[in-house]
A and B are shown apart, each in its own frame.
Chain A
Amino acid sequence: SFRELFHRRYDVNSEEFNRRHLYFQDTMKRHKYLNSFSAAPHSAKYGINQFSDLSQKEFRELYLRASTARAPSFSGLKTEG
Protein backbone atom coordinates (compact mmCIF):
# COMPACT_ATOMS: atom_id res chain seq x y z
CA SER A 1 0.00 0.00 0.00
CA PHE A 2 2.97 2.31 0.55
CA ARG A 3 4.12 1.70 -3.02
CA GLU A 4 0.65 2.36 -4.34
CA LEU A 5 0.14 5.49 -2.25
CA PHE A 6 3.47 7.05 -3.23
CA HIS A 7 3.62 5.75 -6.80
CA ARG A 8 6.72 3.59 -6.41
CA ARG A 9 7.43 1.51 -9.49
CA TYR A 10 9.96 -0.99 -8.18
CA ASP A 11 8.94 -4.61 -8.53
CA VAL A 12 8.46 -6.88 -5.50
CA ASN A 13 10.99 -9.33 -6.93
CA SER A 14 13.68 -6.72 -7.52
CA GLU A 15 16.80 -6.04 -5.52
CA GLU A 16 15.62 -2.48 -5.11
CA PHE A 17 12.44 -3.69 -3.45
CA ASN A 18 14.48 -5.66 -0.90
CA ARG A 19 16.68 -2.66 -0.17
CA ARG A 20 13.74 -0.27 0.12
CA HIS A 21 11.92 -2.75 2.34
CA LEU A 22 14.86 -2.75 4.77
CA TYR A 23 14.93 1.05 4.82
CA PHE A 24 11.19 1.04 5.43
CA GLN A 25 11.61 -1.30 8.41
CA ASP A 26 14.36 0.95 9.82
CA THR A 27 12.01 3.88 9.39
CA MET A 28 9.28 2.15 11.39
CA LYS A 29 11.69 1.56 14.28
CA ARG A 30 12.68 5.20 14.14
CA HIS A 31 9.03 6.30 14.34
CA LYS A 32 8.58 4.32 17.53
CA TYR A 33 11.48 6.16 19.15
CA LEU A 34 10.51 9.60 17.83
CA ASN A 35 6.86 9.21 18.92
CA SER A 36 7.88 8.15 22.42
CA PHE A 37 8.37 11.89 23.10
CA SER A 38 5.01 12.85 21.61
CA ALA A 39 2.56 12.29 24.47
CA ALA A 40 1.48 15.95 24.80
CA PRO A 41 -1.61 16.91 22.71
CA HIS A 42 0.10 19.22 20.19
CA SER A 43 3.41 17.39 19.96
CA ALA A 44 4.87 16.47 16.60
CA LYS A 45 3.87 13.09 15.21
CA TYR A 46 6.16 10.94 13.12
CA GLY A 47 5.09 8.23 10.69
CA ILE A 48 4.94 7.02 7.13
CA ASN A 49 5.29 9.64 4.43
CA GLN A 50 6.87 9.93 0.98
CA PHE A 51 10.38 9.61 2.46
CA SER A 52 9.80 6.35 4.35
CA ASP A 53 11.63 4.10 1.89
CA LEU A 54 14.76 6.27 1.80
CA SER A 55 17.77 5.59 3.97
CA GLN A 56 18.75 8.49 6.21
CA LYS A 57 21.86 8.94 4.09
CA GLU A 58 19.83 9.16 0.88
CA PHE A 59 17.45 11.64 2.50
CA ARG A 60 20.32 13.88 3.60
CA GLU A 61 22.03 13.70 0.23
CA LEU A 62 18.87 14.53 -1.68
CA TYR A 63 17.07 17.07 0.48
CA LEU A 64 19.40 18.53 3.09
CA ARG A 65 21.73 20.50 0.87
CA ALA A 66 21.81 23.96 2.42
CA SER A 67 25.26 25.11 3.46
CA THR A 68 25.62 26.38 6.98
CA ALA A 69 26.18 30.11 7.12
CA ARG A 70 27.11 31.89 10.33
CA ALA A 71 25.20 35.08 10.92
CA PRO A 72 26.15 37.78 13.44
CA SER A 73 24.20 37.80 16.67
CA PHE A 74 21.22 40.15 16.68
CA SER A 75 22.38 43.17 18.63
CA GLY A 76 19.00 44.19 20.00
CA LEU A 77 16.27 46.51 18.97
CA LYS A 78 17.18 50.16 18.45
CA THR A 79 15.87 52.24 21.33
CA GLU A 80 16.22 55.63 19.63
CA GLY A 81 12.92 56.99 18.45
Chain B
Amino acid sequence: LPARFDWRDKAVVSPVQNQQACGSCWAFSVVGAMQSVHAIEGSTLERLSVQQVLDCSYKNEGCNGGSTLQALDWLKQTRVKLVLESEYSYKAKTGICHYFSQSHGGVALKNFTAHDFGGQEKAMMGQLVECGPLVALVDAVSWQDYLGGIIQHHCSSHWSNHAVLVVGYDTTGDIPYWIVQNSWGTSWGNEGYVYIKIGDSVCGIADSVAAVFL
Protein backbone atom coordinates (compact mmCIF):
# COMPACT_ATOMS: atom_id res chain seq x y z
CA LEU B 1 0.00 0.00 0.00
CA PRO B 2 1.22 3.53 -0.70
CA ALA B 3 2.08 5.54 2.42
CA ARG B 4 -0.30 8.23 1.28
CA PHE B 5 -3.34 7.86 -0.94
CA ASP B 6 -6.02 10.40 -1.76
CA TRP B 7 -8.70 9.91 -4.39
CA ARG B 8 -8.94 13.71 -4.69
CA ASP B 9 -5.53 13.66 -6.40
CA LYS B 10 -7.13 11.70 -9.23
CA ALA B 11 -9.97 14.23 -9.56
CA VAL B 12 -12.68 11.67 -8.84
CA VAL B 13 -14.13 13.23 -5.68
CA SER B 14 -16.93 15.78 -5.95
CA PRO B 15 -16.71 19.02 -3.97
CA VAL B 16 -17.95 19.10 -0.38
CA GLN B 17 -21.72 19.52 -0.13
CA ASN B 18 -23.89 21.01 2.60
CA GLN B 19 -26.81 18.91 3.78
CA GLN B 20 -28.23 21.99 5.61
CA ALA B 21 -30.91 21.39 8.25
CA CYS B 22 -31.80 17.93 6.95
CA GLY B 23 -30.65 14.58 8.35
CA SER B 24 -29.48 13.37 4.96
CA CYS B 25 -25.85 12.42 5.68
CA TRP B 26 -26.67 8.79 4.85
CA ALA B 27 -27.78 9.78 1.33
CA PHE B 28 -24.81 12.12 0.74
CA SER B 29 -22.27 9.46 1.65
CA VAL B 30 -23.85 6.80 -0.56
CA VAL B 31 -24.23 9.14 -3.54
CA GLY B 32 -20.69 10.47 -2.99
CA ALA B 33 -19.28 6.96 -3.25
CA MET B 34 -21.27 6.20 -6.40
CA GLN B 35 -20.17 9.46 -8.07
CA SER B 36 -16.53 8.69 -7.38
CA VAL B 37 -16.61 5.06 -8.49
CA HIS B 38 -18.42 6.12 -11.67
CA ALA B 39 -15.57 8.56 -12.37
CA ILE B 40 -12.89 6.00 -11.46
CA GLU B 41 -14.40 3.70 -14.08
CA GLY B 42 -13.73 6.32 -16.73
CA SER B 43 -16.82 8.53 -16.83
CA THR B 44 -16.82 12.25 -16.25
CA LEU B 45 -17.13 13.21 -12.59
CA GLU B 46 -20.73 14.35 -12.28
CA ARG B 47 -22.91 15.11 -9.29
CA LEU B 48 -25.73 12.60 -8.91
CA SER B 49 -29.03 13.26 -7.18
CA VAL B 50 -29.01 13.02 -3.41
CA GLN B 51 -32.64 14.15 -3.38
CA GLN B 52 -33.62 11.08 -5.42
CA VAL B 53 -32.20 8.79 -2.74
CA LEU B 54 -33.78 10.92 -0.02
CA ASP B 55 -37.26 10.81 -1.58
CA CYS B 56 -37.30 7.35 -3.07
CA SER B 57 -35.41 5.04 -0.69
CA TYR B 58 -38.67 4.13 1.02
CA LYS B 59 -37.29 2.15 3.98
CA ASN B 60 -35.42 5.25 5.11
CA GLU B 61 -36.94 8.40 6.52
CA GLY B 62 -35.64 11.16 4.28
CA CYS B 63 -34.52 14.21 6.26
CA ASN B 64 -35.48 12.42 9.49
CA GLY B 65 -32.63 9.99 8.98
CA GLY B 66 -31.71 6.73 7.37
CA SER B 67 -29.32 3.87 7.03
CA THR B 68 -26.56 3.75 4.45
CA LEU B 69 -26.89 -0.02 4.16
CA GLN B 70 -30.67 0.20 3.64
CA ALA B 71 -30.09 2.80 0.93
CA LEU B 72 -27.45 0.64 -0.76
CA ASP B 73 -29.71 -2.40 -0.52
CA TRP B 74 -32.56 -0.42 -2.09
CA LEU B 75 -30.28 0.74 -4.93
CA LYS B 76 -29.10 -2.82 -5.53
CA GLN B 77 -32.52 -4.49 -5.38
CA THR B 78 -34.41 -1.96 -7.49
CA ARG B 79 -31.52 -1.18 -9.88
CA VAL B 80 -32.80 2.41 -9.82
CA LYS B 81 -30.59 4.66 -11.88
CA LEU B 82 -29.45 7.77 -10.06
CA VAL B 83 -30.01 10.77 -12.29
CA LEU B 84 -27.93 13.93 -12.36
CA GLU B 85 -28.19 16.45 -9.54
CA SER B 86 -29.25 19.04 -12.13
CA GLU B 87 -32.25 16.87 -13.07
CA TYR B 88 -33.40 16.25 -9.49
CA SER B 89 -31.90 18.93 -7.32
CA TYR B 90 -31.34 18.95 -3.58
CA LYS B 91 -34.02 20.73 -1.53
CA ALA B 92 -32.98 19.79 2.03
CA LYS B 93 -36.56 18.56 2.53
CA THR B 94 -38.10 15.16 1.98
CA GLY B 95 -40.38 15.19 -1.04
CA ILE B 96 -42.39 12.91 -3.26
CA CYS B 97 -40.33 10.42 -5.27
CA HIS B 98 -39.96 11.39 -8.91
CA TYR B 99 -39.76 8.46 -11.31
CA PHE B 100 -37.78 8.42 -14.52
CA SER B 101 -38.29 6.08 -17.46
CA GLN B 102 -35.98 3.09 -17.87
CA SER B 103 -34.49 4.69 -20.97
CA HIS B 104 -33.47 7.76 -18.96
CA GLY B 105 -29.72 7.93 -18.37
CA GLY B 106 -28.27 7.44 -14.92
CA VAL B 107 -25.96 5.40 -12.74
CA ALA B 108 -27.09 2.12 -11.19
CA LEU B 109 -25.53 0.15 -8.37
CA LYS B 110 -24.52 -3.41 -9.20
CA ASN B 111 -23.39 -4.50 -5.76
CA PHE B 112 -21.87 -3.39 -2.50
CA THR B 113 -19.95 -4.86 0.41
CA ALA B 114 -20.20 -3.87 4.06
CA HIS B 115 -17.65 -4.86 6.65
CA ASP B 116 -16.50 -4.16 10.16
CA PHE B 117 -12.78 -3.39 9.80
CA GLY B 118 -12.23 -2.95 13.53
CA GLY B 119 -8.64 -4.03 14.27
CA GLN B 120 -7.98 -4.33 10.53
CA GLU B 121 -7.64 -0.77 9.32
CA LYS B 122 -4.77 -1.75 7.03
CA ALA B 123 -7.20 -3.99 5.16
CA MET B 124 -9.59 -1.03 5.02
CA MET B 125 -6.80 1.02 3.43
CA GLY B 126 -6.45 -1.74 0.85
CA GLN B 127 -10.15 -1.66 0.11
CA LEU B 128 -10.07 2.12 -0.29
CA VAL B 129 -7.25 1.91 -2.82
CA GLU B 130 -8.82 -1.01 -4.64
CA CYS B 131 -12.49 -0.01 -4.70
CA GLY B 132 -12.68 3.76 -4.38
CA PRO B 133 -14.01 6.06 -1.65
CA LEU B 134 -15.80 4.22 1.14
CA VAL B 135 -19.05 4.91 2.95
CA ALA B 136 -18.48 4.86 6.72
CA LEU B 137 -20.54 5.35 9.85
CA VAL B 138 -19.08 7.37 12.72
CA ASP B 139 -19.80 8.83 16.12
CA ALA B 140 -19.79 12.56 15.36
CA VAL B 141 -21.05 14.02 18.64
CA SER B 142 -17.79 15.91 19.27
CA TRP B 143 -17.68 17.13 15.68
CA GLN B 144 -20.09 19.91 16.65
CA ASP B 145 -17.02 21.85 17.85
CA TYR B 146 -14.36 20.55 15.45
CA LEU B 147 -12.19 23.15 13.69
CA GLY B 148 -9.39 21.05 12.21
CA GLY B 149 -6.48 18.71 12.95
CA ILE B 150 -6.42 14.98 13.55
CA ILE B 151 -9.11 13.59 15.85
CA GLN B 152 -7.62 11.20 18.37
CA HIS B 153 -9.88 11.59 21.42
CA HIS B 154 -13.47 12.34 22.42
CA CYS B 155 -14.90 9.90 19.93
CA SER B 156 -16.41 6.54 20.73
CA SER B 157 -16.59 3.50 18.51
CA HIS B 158 -19.74 1.35 18.30
CA TRP B 159 -22.04 4.39 18.77
CA SER B 160 -22.37 5.62 15.23
CA ASN B 161 -24.83 8.36 14.35
CA HIS B 162 -23.44 9.97 11.19
CA ALA B 163 -22.43 8.86 7.70
CA VAL B 164 -19.37 10.14 5.82
CA LEU B 165 -17.16 9.37 2.83
CA VAL B 166 -13.59 8.17 3.37
CA VAL B 167 -11.54 9.43 0.41
CA GLY B 168 -7.95 8.78 1.47
CA TYR B 169 -5.35 8.27 4.15
CA ASP B 170 -1.92 9.54 5.09
CA THR B 171 0.61 7.52 7.07
CA THR B 172 3.66 9.66 6.32
CA GLY B 173 3.57 11.76 9.50
CA ASP B 174 3.77 11.00 13.22
CA ILE B 175 0.04 10.32 13.40
CA PRO B 176 -1.44 8.33 10.52
CA TYR B 177 -4.93 9.51 9.61
CA TRP B 178 -7.97 8.96 7.42
CA ILE B 179 -9.08 11.76 5.10
CA VAL B 180 -12.84 11.99 5.40
CA GLN B 181 -15.29 14.11 3.46
CA ASN B 182 -18.23 15.43 5.47
CA SER B 183 -21.46 17.01 4.18
CA TRP B 184 -21.65 20.11 6.41
CA GLY B 185 -20.24 22.59 3.89
CA THR B 186 -16.73 23.89 3.33
CA SER B 187 -16.75 26.28 6.30
CA TRP B 188 -16.70 23.32 8.71
CA GLY B 189 -13.45 21.51 9.65
CA ASN B 190 -10.61 21.43 7.14
CA GLU B 191 -12.60 22.95 4.26
CA GLY B 192 -15.31 20.38 4.82
CA TYR B 193 -12.96 17.48 5.59
CA VAL B 194 -12.09 15.84 8.89
CA TYR B 195 -8.96 13.86 9.69
CA ILE B 196 -9.25 10.83 11.97
CA LYS B 197 -6.37 8.89 13.46
CA ILE B 198 -5.86 5.43 11.96
CA GLY B 199 -5.95 2.63 14.53
CA ASP B 200 -8.41 1.75 17.31
CA SER B 201 -11.34 2.68 15.03
CA VAL B 202 -11.41 6.24 16.38
CA CYS B 203 -14.98 7.62 16.08
CA GLY B 204 -15.98 4.14 14.88
CA ILE B 205 -14.57 4.95 11.43
CA ALA B 206 -13.81 1.26 10.74
CA ASP B 207 -16.91 -0.27 12.35
CA SER B 208 -19.27 -0.21 9.40
CA VAL B 209 -17.66 0.44 6.04
CA ALA B 210 -19.24 -0.04 2.64
CA ALA B 211 -17.70 -0.18 -0.83
CA VAL B 212 -19.80 0.20 -3.97
CA PHE B 213 -19.58 -1.55 -7.34
CA LEU B 214 -21.26 -0.20 -10.48
CB-CB < 8 A to B120: which residues of A? 74, 76
Complex-state Cα separation, A54 to B141, whole angstroms:
12
Partner-A contacts on B (CB < 8 A) = 19, 21, 23-26, 63-70, 114-118, 120, 123-124, 126, 137, 140-142, 144-154, 159-163, 173-175, 184-185, 187-188, 195, 207-210
Q: How far is the CB of A3 from chain B (nearest CB, A)?
A: 15
- Structural contact, A42 and B149, CB atoms closer than 8 A: yes
Number of A-B contacts (CB under 8 A): 141
- Structural contact, A59 and B149, CB atoms closer than 8 A: no
Q: Which of A23-63 contact B (CB under 8 A)?
A: 27, 30-31, 34, 37-38, 40-47, 49-52, 54, 56, 59-60, 62-63
Question: A interface, by DSSP: helix, strand, loop or mixed?
Answer: loop
* Pick from A31, A34, A38, A69: contact of B114, CB under 8 Å: A69
4 closest A-B pairs by CB: A65-B23, A65-B65, A64-B161, A67-B67
Partner-B contacts on A (CB < 8 A) = 27, 30-31, 34, 37-38, 40-47, 49-52, 54, 56, 59-60, 62-74, 76-77
CB-CB < 8 A to B144: which residues of A? 27, 51, 54, 56, 59
Q: Apart from A42-B174, A69-B137, A76-B123, what are 18 other A-B pairs with CB-CB below 8 Å? A: A37-B152, A40-B152, A41-B174, A42-B173, A43-B152, A44-B151, A46-B142, A51-B144, A54-B144, A63-B25, A65-B25, A65-B64, A66-B66, A66-B68, A66-B160, A71-B210, A72-B115, A77-B123
